[in-house]
Structure 1
């Protein structure tokens, strides 16, 4: 008879905060570097292009974390369908609706955009096209629809099968244009970046990481080797985009890169924890990561509107990055004081002292 995996203890793994921070830092890098190119008529230089491409590890890492947290919660508390629906509706679906409506208003009032009407508007809204970053929430919501069926993954053998199958499925949909026309109809829908099957491997690997946490973390004891691993992944990523040009987050190599980077970041947690100058800021960014994800495009839009063109010189990018982060954190912290914060951003409510 197959051996069922050890029942977990109900503790939260602090390392996930730092994996969230890693993902959040990457996503903000992508959008900030794109502002230099899109908003100010500049072309990418070697630095902004490198940051734009290397930051694209962020979105699939968020997908992995989403899978980890869901499967870990089931391990710790069991699966209650009604509780699951209520929790997901509050923490993801409501914030998605709130921010979609908010950014639509921003597009109309600030950017003077003309919105599609009728069925086109509904499709655009449901596909997360209200603003450029909301598509990720649609991907996560789709995963919630299939997650109840994934409860069957409980044994070592079933996890191995799930990993292999999800890897093949994601690889197939990443390369879908090689097999069918993706210009219109069903092919265009399946090739849309919000379609779950492109990302399913990351969710499944996150669940695998939750179930095998203790075994995996025992294998990552050498910080020096982990730093070398991270350096190798980034060097190969630089080589890849120099050969291929601009590559999206859902690229084939990320099916290998993201698991390796995630395990390496988790393994480096003791080093981060021992250095207060890193520990505090990264823990804050990790805790507020989804809030930062939701509000940072608003901050970028504001800065693009009010700052002069000269402020966007490449040499000022580090200062601009810090400014975007600080303003985003400030907005999230203000929202956290609201009693109904759970319907706006999926972060813990600020406790009154």
Structure 2
């Protein structure tokens, strides 16, 4: 019997997907030479409302893995085969699609008459044409190493259980705070201390530093937080609601800080990479916003409004939408780049965002209904039963508001890269 599905996780994944699509639409328009300053500032303000997107997918990856494997040792060969089919195969397929799509519209591709296999192989390790796909490689590292993470988490859990000076809740809070401090130090090292290392060092160390955002090491805290949430969901909900007023205040303060920081450090053209994910202040606003949104979803989980149903639907098809959305942005940009949009960058960005979301999710939904959908959008088609007897999953009662019957968990939480 499967565990009950936690609705707020799917809804949070839907929000994260929308944030990521907005980020990449903003990146398409904010760097154009004809952008007016008011549009540039407004897009920067919207951009800082979306910073939670990618790390939230890492958090949700940890949540799902620890939730479904917390009390059992995974069969590693079966576990990897399943994740390979659900995640890596779609990555390879869409890498090929993006590689072909960019070259088909390049005259040099047809004039050369050769098939550049080396560039395609490079895309499988360092995606460029599908600029967002590198994050699949990063998240897949968590799946490959998950049995080790699980054993380490179980070891820590046993040690915490033997502590007598602190209660279980106090021990977990202390552990999270210590981990957050260590991760903040890692972000400081990444953003400030390694600035000149890439130039000073020789390969392969300079290459490893240059592409350090491709490594799970730079995102491990969000994965750890997912384990804490998964292993104590009711306690987690309770604390998210209690901390909500403080999280709101922290988010507002950091939102103002990051906006000022970017505008102060930019010239005529805004530099959004000033608020990269691998920066201590960005880490703080991400945590504040992600946990704040989680708290709101907990408060609303008994309502089951159309608004929540929409985010649940978006969350279900978000992986396929994530894979395809950059291709839609490419198509829109093919039309908008030759245009002079002075004074119109903000409305065009918002319109492009709506079109991208709608078409991406429609394609993801459509592909999920076709054979082989597991290998295209990471979703397996639901099987219709001809028997009047309800299946085990369908007959599971709702235990509490916010829970629903168990559905397929083939779709894994994924994330997207920073704006480059």
Instruction: Compute the displacement of 1:136 (Å).
Output: 0.6
What is the DSSP-based 3-state SS (H/G/I as helix, E as strand, rest coil) of the residue aligned with 2:277? coil
> Which has more helix, going by share of residues?
1
Other-structure match for 2:189: 172
Instruction: Compute the displacement of 1:187 (Å).
Output: 2.4
Other-structure match for 2:62: 67
Other-structure match for 1:309: 339
Q: 1:319 is matched with which residue: 328, 340, 351?
A: 351
* Equivalent pair of 2:60/2:226 in contact (CA under 8 Å): yes
Other-structure match for 2:153: 153
* Equivalent pair of 2:319/2:377 in contact (CA under 8 Å): yes
Find out whether 1:87 has 2:86 as its counterpart: no
What is the distance in 1 between the residues matched to 2:25 and 2:195?
Answer: 32
Query: CA 1:49–1:221 in structure 2 vs 1: closer, same or farther (change >3 Å)?
Result: closer
Q: 2:98 is matched with which residue: 69, 81, 103?
A: 103
* Equivalent pair of 1:182/1:191 in contact (CA under 8 Å): no
* Equivalent pair of 2:247/2:288 in contact (CA under 8 Å): no
Find out whether 1:189 has 2:208 as its counterpart: yes
- The farther-off stretch of 132-141 and 342-351 is 342-351
Find out whether 1:329 has 2:361 as its counterpart: yes
Q: Please report the TM-score for the alignment, with normalisation by the length of structure 1.
A: 0.84
1:131-164 C-alpha deviation (Å, 9 max, x unpaired) = 1111111111222333222122113457738936
What is the distance in 1 between the residues matched to 2:265 and 2:322?
Answer: 27
1:177-213 C-alpha deviation (Å, 9 max, x unpaired) = 1573356521232331212222222222222222233
Query: CA 1:32–1:317 in structure 2 vs 1: closer, same or farther (change >3 Å)?
Result: same
Query: CA 1:257–1:45 in structure 2 vs 1: closer, same or farther (change >3 Å)?
Result: closer
Larger RCO, structure (CA 8 Å, separation 6 or more): 2
Higher alpha-carbon Rg:
2
Query: CA 1:310–1:324 in structure 2 vs 1: closer, same or farther (change >3 Å)?
Result: farther
1:50-72 C-alpha deviation (Å, 9 max, x unpaired) = 22343232112212222222222
Find out whether 1:25 has 2:55 as its counterpart: no
* Equivalent pair of 2:58/2:219 in contact (CA under 8 Å): yes
* Equivalent pair of 2:237/2:295 in contact (CA under 8 Å): yes
Q: Please report the TM-score for the alignment, with normalisation by the length of structure 2.
A: 0.72
- The farther-off stretch of 247-256 and 66-75 is 247-256
1:32-52 C-alpha deviation (Å, 9 max, x unpaired) = 112223578536611122223
What is the DSSP-based 3-state SS (H/G/I as helix, E as strand, rest coil) of the residue aligned with 2:198? coil
Q: 1:242 is matched with which residue: 263, 286, 301?
A: 263
Other-structure match for 2:227: 207
Query: CA 1:131–1:111 in structure 2 vs 1: closer, same or farther (change >3 Å)?
Result: farther
1:57-104 C-alpha deviation (Å, 9 max, x unpaired) = 211221222222222221165422122111210111101101111100
What is the distance in 2 between the residues matched to 1:290 and 1:191?
Answer: 27
1:247-266 C-alpha deviation (Å, 9 max, x unpaired) = 22332223333333222222
Query: CA 1:318–1:106 in structure 2 vs 1: closer, same or farther (change >3 Å)?
Result: same
Instruction: Compute the displacement of 1:166 (Å).
Output: 5.3
Instruction: Compute the displacement of 1:295 (Å).
Output: 1.0
* Equivalent pair of 1:163/1:205 in contact (CA under 8 Å): no
The runs of 5 or more residues in structure 2 that have no matched partner are 161-171, 267-271, 386-420
The runs of 5 or more residues in structure 1 that have no matched partner are 1-8
What is the distance in 1 between the residues matched to 2:108 and 2:12?
Answer: 36
Query: CA 1:54–1:265 in structure 2 vs 1: closer, same or farther (change >3 Å)?
Result: closer
Q: Give RMSD over aligned pairs.
A: 3.2
What is the distance in 2 between the residues matched to 1:300 and 1:180?
Answer: 34
**After the TM superposition, which residues 241-320 of structure 1 pair with which residues of structure 2 at under 5 Å, given as runs?**
241-245=262-266, 246=272, 247=274, 248-273=276-301, 274=303, 276-306=305-335, 309=339, 313-320=345-352
- The alignment covers a number of residue pairs equal to 345
